[in-house]
Amino acid sequence: MCDPQSVGILTAVTALEAVAVHLPPRLEPIEDVGARIGLTPRQLRLFRRFHGLDQVRLDPDGTLLDLLDAAVRALPELRGNEHRIRYLLHARNTPVAAPYPINPLHQLQERFGLTRADAFTVTQQACAASLLAVDLAGRLLADDGDPSALALVVAGEKTFTRDAQVLPETTIFAEASTACLVSPDGDRNRVLSYAVRQRPEFYGRPAEDPELMVRYQREYQPTMIETVQAALDQAGLDLSDIALLLPHNVNQASWRMICRQLGYPVEQVVLENVLTVGHSFAADAFINLRTATTGGALRPGDHYLIAAAGIGATFAAMVLRH
Amino acid sequence: MPAETRGLRVTRAVAAGFDGHSAAALHPDLRVFTGDLVRPYGLPLREDLLTEGAGHDYGEMAAGLFAQALPGGEPADLLILAFSSPDVRPAAPSSLRLSRHCPGQPTAFAVCDQGSATAFAALRIAAAHHRTGGCRRAVIVLAEQSALHHRPAEPVELPAEHRAVVLVCEEAPGEGMRVRGQAEPDGVQALRSVLDEHRRLGPGARLLLAADLARGDLPDGVEAARPGQPFTGVWSLLADRLADRLPGHGPLLVADHDRRLGRLSTLTLP
């Protein structure tokens, strides 16, 4: 495993300069999604009553390029700074997202004139890929040593196949997208720590392996709590120092249980987007950050924690100062 | 250079070709996933390849190479799987599966969507991790398999055989590897630029070129990878040359050019 001390020292300078969110206008009740993809009434009751899901954002006519394009267009801070973008990273759950060799990321790069950017996708850390992308962007920018350089991290995916539509007994996926400007030494949303825990024994396809799913669900909370604690330790903070927890929007129930075990007030967890957006893969982190900042839930100087996880399995947590 | 400088560089490489196919190539998931993937783009499936079960699994191919790449069981901190064309498990986190087989069970992820430059991106990330305190030994897995289970939207070169390469990057006294990338749409200009860089490195330097980049008679100290392996070709050649590298060797320059993306990438090993 990486040296956590060193990771903590490095990421102290990385900063999220600006975040933009695109929410497709179509808001579909989970019952409509269920009818379309063949979920049973029992499954839908579980999602609504136990997991607290309600509606998901979808863009049935748009492509992946359309989705990412809309997020980047919503980022006014990019205008005039295109030449400063040294890295363009797509943080993605699903490793293959377009028929080879179609490459929406490079189409995006061309469309926005990011001619100086090194553009690639980071994947295979499930919905924690956005935290990985922020960490990588920070490392690459720090290593380059150009304080004016920036990275643009985009997230968002199409729900084009069943495994990208539903995770049994856990969540229904959505299609919101985000764009985030990362700097090597900014003063907004400074990254204080980043912790990753991987459990490759959960590699597999839970949709066809109920035993794997049961084992994953059993280990999910303790591993997530361990990861959160590792990020807090690296940042030199206690949970009581965290003003807000930004979860991935997988469901409400798992976060309520984690909060009970952590002794953390669930009122300080941004959960409203579980109801009104849905689980938008790796984009959740930035969607919830945007909700927190525009809603005034974060004040300058507040510490907050972003947490995400996914099958494979990867758990990640990042502590930042607003 | 300060005496304490220790850079990360590729110290070992293992390459192998694979016959046959993986069981995953016959799994119904591949047809479902690929069918759903291509539907919005109006591209037909390659029913022949799906029925035949053609294709291989990147995790399965590379897992068996770790024993050769890390013969003493040396633990790695970081594992990066890099690929250009898709795996027969296109939705699976194969890098995590590989992490289970790799000494040290390193933190794992994958990079893609940059054509042949993706391999260099993985090396660049490993170097940045090392210089920013994140790893001491990294393993880069490069893989390609020959079956594309749908018609491509435009002509594209696919690998002639299933092949995987494991690059081991370790700390060593002195400067580390340098990875560079630049936009360069023109293949002739890309070759000229690489040959200039080779000359600048001095008379003892060797240059390894991807097959696609090589043209005409090559100067002394320059050799090209065999054609047919658009992603792993030059790295298989590197594996051969690292194996027979003698003490006191000169620097080694590795170059690839992705025509489609117009990107020239180089790796310099001291």
Mutation site for A-interface testing, chosen from B8, B34, B80, B112 by largest number of A Cβ within 10 Å = B112
Residue A13 has pLDDT above 90, yes or no: no
Q: Do B113 and A120 touch (CB under 8 A)?
A: yes
Residue B210 lies in a domain: yes
Q: Do B111 and A123 touch (CB under 8 A)?
A: yes
ipTM of the complex: 0.96
Counted domains in chain B: 2
Mutation site for A-interface testing, chosen from B60, B96, B105, B137 by largest number of A Cβ within 10 Å = B96
Q: In chain A, which residue ranges form alpha helices assigned H by DSSP? A: 4-11, 30-37, 41-45, 64-73, 104-111, 129-144, 210-235, 253-262, 272-276, 284-294
Q: Which of B38, B104, B129 sits opposite A99 (nearest CB)?
A: B38
**pLDDT of A11:** 43
**pLDDT of A212:** 86
Closest CA to A152 of A127, A125, A128, A117: A117
Q: For residue A166, give the 3-state DSSP assignment.
A: strand
Q: Do B128 and A96 touch (CB under 8 A)?
A: no
Q: Tabulate helix, strand, coil % of chain B (nearest 5).
A: 30, 30, 40
Whether A4-183 shares its CATH topology with A190-321 is answered yes
Q: How far is A121 from chain B (nearest CA, A)?
A: 5
* DSSP 8-class letter at A46: I
Rounded to whole angstroms, what are the CA distances from A130 to A70, A300, B133? 18, 23, 21
Q: Do B96 and A10 touch (CB under 8 A)?
A: no
Cα–Cα distance measured from residue A119 to residue A106, given in angstroms and rounded to the nearest whole number: 7
| Under 8 Å between Cβ of B240 and B226 | no
Closest CA to B129 of A319, A121, A231, A142: A142
Q: Which of B43, B97, B132 sits opposite A142 (nearest CB)?
A: B132
Same structural domain, B182 and B255: yes
Q: Do A95 and B93 touch (CB under 8 A)?
A: yes
Q: Do B91 and A161 touch (CB under 8 A)?
A: yes
**pLDDT of A187:** 85
Task: Tell me whether A161 touches chain B (CB under 8 Å).
Answer: yes
pLDDT digits (tens, 9 = 90+) for A46-78: 999 999 999 999 999 999 999 999 999 999 999
Cα–Cα distance measured from residue B9 to residue A276, given in angstroms and rounded to the nearest whole number: 48
CATH 3.40.47.10 fits A4-183, yes or no: yes
| Under 8 Å between Cβ of A180 and A64 | no
Of B148, B173, B198, the last residue of a domain is: B173
Q: Which residues pair with A171 in a beta bridge?
A: A167
What share of chain A has pLDDT > 90, as a percent?
87
Q: For residue B139, give the 3-state DSSP assignment.
A: strand
Do the bridges between strand A85-91 and strand A118-123 make them parallel or antiparallel, or are there none, so unpaired? parallel
Q: Which of A101, A118, A198 sits opposite B96 (nearest CB)?
A: A198
Rounded to whole angstroms, what are the CA distances from A257 to A224, A261, A262, A263, B10? 11, 6, 9, 10, 46
Residue in chain A nearest B113 by alpha carbon: A120
Q: Which of B97, B124, B132 sits opposite A10 (nearest CB)?
A: B132
Same structural domain, B98 and B183: no
The two tokens of residue B81 are 């799987």
Q: Do A101 and B260 touch (CB under 8 A)?
A: yes
With beta carbons under 8 A apart, name residues in chain A contacting B97.
200, 203
With beta carbons under 8 A apart, name residues in chain A contacting B139.
none
**pLDDT of A8:** 37
Higher pLDDT: A90 or A13? It is A90
**pLDDT of B3:** 54
Packing angle of the helix pair A4-11, A129-144 (nearest 10 deg):
70
Q: How far is A138 from chain B (nearest CA, A)?
A: 10
The two tokens of residue B124 are 């660049």
Q: Which of B109, B127, B132 sits opposite A123 (nearest CB)?
A: B109
Q: Which of A101, A121, A162 sits opposite B111 (nearest CB)?
A: A121
Same structural domain, B67 and B184: no
The two tokens of residue A125 are 């850390």
CATH assignment, A190-321: 3.40.47.10
What backbone phi and psi angles, to 5 degrees, belong to B28? -60, -25
Rounded to whole angstroms, what are the CA distances from A79 to A58, A84, A114, B268? 27, 10, 11, 35
Q: How far is A50 from chain B (nearest CA, A)?
A: 28
**Per-residue confidence band for A12, with pLDDT thresholds at 50, 70 and 90:** very low
Q: Do B39 and A160 touch (CB under 8 A)?
A: yes
Residue B1 lies in a domain: no
Q: For residue B160, give the 3-state DSSP assignment.
A: coil
Same structural domain, B151 and B224: no
Q: How far is B131 from chain A (nearest CA, A)?
A: 7
**pLDDT of A155:** 98
What backbone phi and psi angles, to 5 degrees, belong to A217? -65, -35
C-alpha dihedral, A285 to A287 to A291 to A297, nearest 10°: 10
The two tokens of residue B185 are 């749409």
Q: Which residues of chain B have pLDDT under 70?
A: 1-3
- Write out the residue range of the structural domain in which residue B247 sits: 178-269
Phi/psi zone of residue B195: left (φ > 0), alpha (ψ -120 to 50 degrees), beta? alpha
Closest CA to A273 of A244, A308, A305, A246: A246
- The domain segmentation of chain A, as residue ranges, is 4-183, 190-321
Residue A6 has pLDDT above 80, yes or no: no
Task: Tell me whether A102 touches chain B (CB under 8 Å).
Answer: yes
Q: Which of A10, A98, A161 sits opposite B133 (nearest CB)?
A: A10
Q: Do B96 and A313 touch (CB under 8 A)?
A: yes
Q: Do B156 and A100 touch (CB under 8 A)?
A: yes
**pLDDT of B198:** 97
Cα–Cα distance measured from residue B66 to residue B64, given in angstroms and rounded to the nearest whole number: 6
Same structural domain, B212 and B149: no
Q: Is the peptide bond before A119 cis (omega within 30 degrees of 0)?
A: no
Same structural domain, B114 and B82: yes
Of B137, B158, B173, the last residue of a domain is: B173
Instruction: Estimate to the nearest angstrom the gap between the alpha carbon of A200 and the chain centroid.
Output: 20
Whole-structure pTM value? 0.96
Same structural domain, B32 and B66: yes
Same structural domain, B230 and B151: no
What is the CB-side half-sphere exposure of residue A91 using CA atoms within 13 A?
A: 30
Size of interface A-B (CB pairs under 8 A): 174
Of B173, B189, B216, the last residue of a domain is: B173
Tell me the one-letter amino acid at A48: R
Task: Tell me whether A41 touches chain B (CB under 8 Å).
Answer: no
Task: Tell me whether A132 touches chain B (CB under 8 Å).
Answer: yes
Same structural domain, B260 and B132: no
Scan residues 48-67 of A and list those with Cβ closer than 8 Å to B. Answer: 63
- The CATH number covering residue B244 comes to 3.40.47.10
Same structural domain, B44 and B107: yes
pLDDT digits (tens, 9 = 90+) for A228-277: 999 999 999 999 999 999 999 999 999 999 999 999 999 999 999 999 99
Cα–Cα distance measured from residue B109 to residue B117, given in angstroms and rounded to the nearest whole number: 17
Contacts of B81 (CB under 8 A, 6+ apart): A124, B58, B62, B94, B95, B98, B108, B109, B110, B111, B122, B141, B143
Residue B238 lies in a domain: yes
| Under 8 Å between Cβ of B192 and B215 | no
**pLDDT of A4:** 36
Contacts of A81 (CB under 8 A, 6+ apart): A150, A181
Same structural domain, B41 and B160: yes
Closest CA to A291 of A223, A257, A238, A245: A245
What backbone phi and psi angles, to 5 degrees, belong to A101? -100, 20
- As a residue count, chain A comes to 322
Q: For residue A125, give the 3-state DSSP assignment.
A: coil
Order across the sheet with B252-258: list the strands.
B178-183, B263-269, B252-258, B206-209, B222-224
pLDDT digits (tens, 9 = 90+) for A136-185: 999 999 999 999 999 999 999 999 999 999 998 899 999 999 999 999 98
Task: Tell me whether A129 touches chain B (CB under 8 Å).
Answer: yes
DSSP for A177-195 reads: EEEEEEESS-SSSEEEEEE
Same structural domain, B156 and B239: no
Q: Do B37 and A98 touch (CB under 8 A)?
A: yes
| Under 8 Å between Cβ of A124 and B81 | yes
